[in-house]
Amino acid sequence: MPNLIIDGKQVEVPAGTTIIQAADKLGIDIPRYCYHPALPVSGNCRICMVEIEKQPKLQIACYTPVADGMVVRTNSPKVLEAHKSVLEFLLVNHPVDCPVCDQAGECKLQDYYMEHGQYDSRLSDVKVRKEKKAFSIGPTVMLDQERCILCTRCVRFADTITKTSEFGVFSRGDHSQLDVYPGKQLDNSYSGNVVDICPVGALTDKDFRFKCRVWYLAQTKSVCPGCSMGCNITVEWDKSRPHQHKVARVMRLKPRHNPDVNDYWICDKGRYNYRFIDENRIHHPQLNNDLISWDQATCIMDSVIKPLYDSKRTNRIGVLASAQLTNEDIFVIRKFFKETLKGAQVDFRVPEKPGDSDGFLIKADKNPNTAGALSILQADADANQIVQKAKQGEIDVLYVFGHDLVRLFGKDVVEQIAKKVKLFVYQGSNVNDTCGYAHLNLPSSVYAEKDGTFTNGQKRVQRIWPAFLPLGESKGDWEIISLLSAKLGTPLAYQNSQEIFQDIAATLAPFSAMTYEKISDKGMILKEGIGSSK
Amino acid sequence: MSPQNKAIGNIDQKIINMEKIVSRHFGQENSHRLTHYLKDKGYEAARKALTQMTGPQVIDEVKRSNLRGLGGAGFPTGTKWSFIPQANPKPKYLVINGDEGEPGTFKDKYILEQDPHALLEGIIITCYAIGSHKAYIYIRGEYIKSLEIVQGAVDEAYKGKYLGKGIMGTGFDIDVVVHPGAGAYICGEETALLESLEGKKGFPRLKPPFPAVVGLFGCPTVINNVETIACVPPIINKGAEWFAKLGSEKNGGNRLFCVSGHVAKPGVYELPHGTTLREIIYDHAGGILNGRKLKAVIPGGISAPVLTPDQIDVKMDFDSLKSIGSMAGSGGIIVMDDTTDMVWAAMITARFFADESCGQCSPCREGSGWVYRNVKRLYHGHARPHDLNNLPGIVNNIGGNTICAFGDAVSMSVGSYVSKFRSEFEAKIKERVCQI
């Protein structure tokens, strides 16, 4: 393997590695516009120039392969001058309309100007104007040709990742402009990614435009709950303007790099699937239409469940758990309903129609934690049967986690259930048609408010972190179960989700040896033998 | 002077007496026809190569002849051919660069129109040498007449079994395709030409890999200028030593010099490498028009740095011109007399580059337009001293920092006007008017 020195630091990398990759490995930040690790190299921006000993000309770091004994400098006066001059060229015809640009604050022109530029303008001429400024090129993205630095990242993304080839660079010289091909629109399932990879404000997200300045945003690592792919994301929320919170906290979702899952990308469905976090939420526990306290809610549940528990008729309890819940939630459901209330019928596999899918990131199973639910809850009951029994009054309690039974089974069935069972509990984060029929509505928190783990379709256990506190009086799903369990006189010993996870790891072989620290932000694969207990 | 020579007019009697190679048929009636070409040992060199020589022998012969690429870069031709990896199982291609776009250059046009069979014979020999069975002739789109004549010659050659399957009774197959360009100067850059030939936008490629390894359609490819390939049949006919002796050291043979501008007899002149620029201007091209004084001369197409009158004793070969900071380039000599406004000349040069920059990489894309607008302002008397002071720095930042040599051309050519004629630029600022 070639051994080289970059800025005095030695590094050994496989043959064929480029200088920029070797520098990234060392944590040396070489400026870049056109280079993107997931796209083919185009070498057109010329800002990543470095000095290589014994080579007269500067070379671009993104294209030059390393060689054994190479001595590279990324900060010599000659290199810094080259960075500055490329930046100057890129800004010659750039409108510098930062005050009205959405990219401001996360713009590489701004960043590199502060790091490598800081020169006085030498331009005395009128800038070249281009045709399209703030122009819609599809359902999700706006194009500003004047801000574009023609790095062609978006072109290469559409050519090689989605293979839809919507973009082209038209015309020549400093009149070159980025556009979609005539008659085409940027309308594919991954269109939003071009906004992420655009290093400047040329491609902006219609959904995010003018909503929030990026310096107001806090970032919390999470995992997309939209399907079983479990794409790694960052939840970006407004941290410093609490007066805005009544409107919305989450401003946007961004993909988070994980080479083993989603690389740098997420689909548009996942990207724009965040409004439910702030909208249409259940804020308070409700008995029919009356707001009640958590204490009242647990008392009501206890009054129905306690006699069944005492008389060992727990088989008259039906639970529809959900693969939308975290492993920790599901484990507590298992603890309470399958161990404390031994005999209760628990299943999570409601009859959902498979959704759309492609060969890339979009999976037909729209639940983020089916693999986790399967490995924690032994499937010894059947959701359809539970619903049928409830309909016929063969059970007394139906406890539903988040499912919209009206959509799944029809209005008539749910009406019947509400009449036949003694207690019909709906525990979920958002209002749906089933809420109107449930006797008791319990507000639970959404994934962005939870600490926990999901297990994706690859059987990869991945962490989610709470971005902010649960909205209103909502609580984590496992906390609500804990309240109920304590009321019943069988308290669970968990203070937080980490303790639950430790118990999972101690109880279930596939999770053994896993800890939150080890899972970290890249995830860990479940061990073979899914669902087997120790 | 024969009547035929009168027809193109500008070929001096003195040159006619010299040994001519590439231009030997110029000005003769029907010189583009196969019958005419066959009269003068036509296709004998190809027959000799195909029947008596091996590929490596041909390459060796061309190497020893010191033939260098006459499109502008001056790379040794035989060496270029020897880079083709023969073990590579992919097809090999020969591409002829006839995208003659360098302002001041009009020599390939003469070969294409007056002696296309010399090019075709050169193609046959070259393809045989490098193991290729397909050649593309990429001709500048504006050269409509050239395209027609070359296509006619190709058709004739197919009919006469000089192209196609088993040519001239040998077992060698070769196909030749004539392809018109679409008008971009950058498509004369060899890798942009390949992109264009593949049907893409003419953007130069990152190098390495060089075309000899990954060229047209990803296959090993030799790209040579029209004039270079037209030199190959005489080398095979008369031998490498004869050819090498004609030129100067390491620059074999003659070359076609295109003289234009303020001279009495502009035109194409075939002269040995190493002829001095003074000889070309004063002895062959008839001196400066109307007896005026020489002010400046571009020795090798618009990309070459401009020379001043005290530099014209330079020998016109690749190495000598390089040593005085200019370049032999495409052999386009543009002569400017003392009535020329050098700021205007710089502006025209800058405008050409701003117009023709392909726009792929940022220093050239943004820089060439910026330089043009800067010089334009200087020319019109609207500039301030800092505009002139900034200009050398701006052009320097373009050169050496781009994907292809276009950026260097902008930098060197425009830069040379500023450094050699700075007083004229300063005068524009002081007087705030346009002088001429």
A353 touches chain B (CB under 8 A): no
* Amino acid identity at A454: F
Task: State whether B368 and A173 contact (CB < 8 Å).
Answer: yes
pLDDT value at position A378?
Answer: 78
Q: What is the pLDDT of residues A452-471, one digit of tens each?
A: 999 999 999 999 999 999 99
- Contact A443/A283 with Cβ under 8 angstroms? yes
**What share of chain B has pLDDT > 90, as a percent?**
92
Cis peptide before B116 (omega within 30 of 0): no
Q: What is the pLDDT of residues B64-98, one digit of tens each?
A: 999 999 999 999 999 999 999 999 999 999 999 99
A90 touches chain B (CB under 8 A): yes
* Calculated CA dihedral for residues A380, A384, A388, A389, nearest 10 degrees: 20
pLDDT value at position B1?
Answer: 35
Task: State whether A124 and B206 contact (CB < 8 Å).
Answer: no
Place of tokens 């269109």: A191
Q: What is the pLDDT of residues A64-90, one digit of tens each?
A: 999 999 999 999 999 999 999 999 999
Task: State whether A46 and B402 contact (CB < 8 Å).
Answer: yes
Q: Is the dihedral of CA A351, A356, A362, A363 positive or negative?
A: positive
Q: For residue A527, name the pLDDT band (cuts at 50, 70, 90).
A: confident
- ipTM reported for the complex, 2 dp: 0.92
Task: State whether B356 and A172 contact (CB < 8 Å).
Answer: yes
Q: For residue A19, name the pLDDT band (cuts at 50, 70, 90).
A: very high
Looking at the partner chain, which of B356, B361, B369 has a beta carbon nearest the beta carbon of A128? B369
Q: What is the pLDDT of residues A187-225, one digit of tens each?
A: 999 999 999 999 999 999 999 999 889 999 999 999 999
Looking at the partner chain, which of B206, B359, B386 has a beta carbon nearest the beta carbon of A176? B359
A276 touches chain B (CB under 8 A): no
Chains A and B: how many Cβ contacts under 8 Å?
A: 97
Looking at the partner chain, which of B369, B383, B397 has a beta carbon nearest the beta carbon of A174? B369
Instruction: Give yes or no for residue B20 having a pLDDT over 80.
Output: yes
Q: What is the DSSP string of A435-482?
A: GGT-SEEEEB--GGG--EEEE-TT-EEEEE---SPPSTT-B-HHHHHH
pLDDT value at position A246?
Answer: 63
Q: How would you write A371-406 as a 3-class SS string?
A: HHHHHHCCCCCCHHHHHHHHHCCCCCEEEEECCCHH
Q: What is the pLDDT of residues B261-299, one digit of tens each?
A: 999 999 999 999 999 999 999 999 999 999 999 999 999
A42 neighbourhood in chain B, CB within 8 Å: 206
Across residues A163-187, what is the average pLDDT?
96
Task: State whether B206 and A43 contact (CB < 8 Å).
Answer: yes
Q: What are phi and psi of B243, to 5 degrees?
A: -70, -45
pLDDT value at position B434?
Answer: 55
- Contact B317/B251 with Cβ under 8 angstroms? yes
Instruction: Give yes or no for residue B14 having a pLDDT over 80.
Output: no
Instruction: Give yes or no for residue B11 having a pLDDT over 70.
Output: no
A149 neighbourhood in chain B, CB within 8 Å: 362
Task: State whether A82 and B201 contact (CB < 8 Å).
Answer: no
pLDDT value at position A531?
Answer: 44
Task: State whether B365 and A169 contact (CB < 8 Å).
Answer: no
Across residues B338-358, what is the average pLDDT?
97
Q: What are the strands of the beta sheet with A345-347, ordered from one edge? A: A290-291, A286-287, A440-443, A423-428, A397-401, A317-320, A345-347
Q: For residue B9, name the pLDDT band (cuts at 50, 70, 90).
A: very low
Q: What is the pLDDT of residues A342-364, one digit of tens each?
A: 999 999 999 999 999 999 999 99
Round to whole Å and give the CA distance between B31 and B33.
Answer: 6
Instruction: Give yes or no for residue B13 having a pLDDT over 90.
Output: no
Nearest chain A residue to B402, by CA: A46
A433 touches chain B (CB under 8 A): no
Q: For residue A289, name the pLDDT band (cuts at 50, 70, 90).
A: confident
Across residues B45-58, what is the average pLDDT?
97
Across residues B126-146, what is the average pLDDT?
97
A386 touches chain B (CB under 8 A): no
pTM of this prediction? 0.93
